[in-house]
Amino acid sequence: MSTVVLFTGGARSGKSRCAEHYAARLSEQVIYLATATAGDDEMRERISRHRARRPPTWSTREAPANVAAALADLPAGSVVLLDCLSLLVSNLLLANESDPEPAINRELDDLLVMVDQRDLTLIAVTNEVGMGIVPAYPLGRQYRDLLGLANQRVAAAAAEVYLVVCGIPVELRALEAAWNRTP
């Protein structure tokens, strides 16, 4: 049975580490789906640090876009860690600046359908960018809005959603259930 789990939080909140720990508890053979591209030295260093913490039994697939296609050959029951949805949305925004929303929606549709069809466990990491200051420039505001909508779509499909603050994951579905019980 397919499952989606979402980890969200601010920059340097520990969300990737929490998601990695969660994935490692499920399987020794995790497929790490990386959406980052090494455009500069600082990003190459970040990618290197992420790679260094992964167990040797994990495999990495790099897909800055078309992530569903990168999963098409996986056997049923595979555990996939997508890190991260934030960069995926950024990649699609920059590749489709005149009208990015349809491309992002197609990407999410394809991903969620693939997870369901292949009976995968998808653990997705994303940034919560809507809790800070409003970006001063239009592209930044557009990105914030598009990522917020993408996060909502993935969260709606997720069985578990964790907000990570200071390295501490807080499961939001339990809080949502308590909210729904309030008269």
pLDDT in tens, the chain (183 residues): 899 999 999 988 999 999 999 999 999 999 999 998 888 888 889 888 888 888 999 999 999 999 999 999 999 999 999 999 999 999 999 999 999 999 999 999 999 999 999 999 999 999 999 888 889 999 999 999 999 999 999 999 999 999 999 999 999 998 888 888 766
Domain ranges, residue 39: 3-163
Q: Is 21 a catalytic residue?
A: no
Q: What is d(CA 58, CA 46) in angstroms, rounded to the nearest whole number?
A: 18
Question: What pLDDT does residue 50 have?
Answer: 83
CATH of the domain at 108: 3.40.50.300
Say if 175 falls within a structural domain.
no
Say if 173 falls within a structural domain.
no
Question: What pLDDT does residue 1 have?
Answer: 81
Say if 179 falls within a structural domain.
no
Annotated binding site: 9-16, 34-36, 51-54, 62, 83
Say if 177 falls within a structural domain.
no
User: Given 26, 47, 50, 142, which residue is catalytic?
Assistant: 50
What total number of domains does the chain contain? 1
Say if 178 falls within a structural domain.
no
Annotated binding site for GTP: 9-16, 34-36, 51-54, 62, 83
CB 122 within 8 A of CB 4: yes
pTM of the model: 0.94
Say if 11 falls within a structural domain.
yes
Say if 169 falls within a structural domain.
no
Q: What is d(CA 136, CA 108) in angstroms, rounded to the nearest whole number?
A: 27
Say if 174 falls within a structural domain.
no
Question: What pLDDT does residue 182 have?
Answer: 64
Q: What is d(CA 38, CA 141) in angstroms, rounded to the nearest whole number?
A: 24
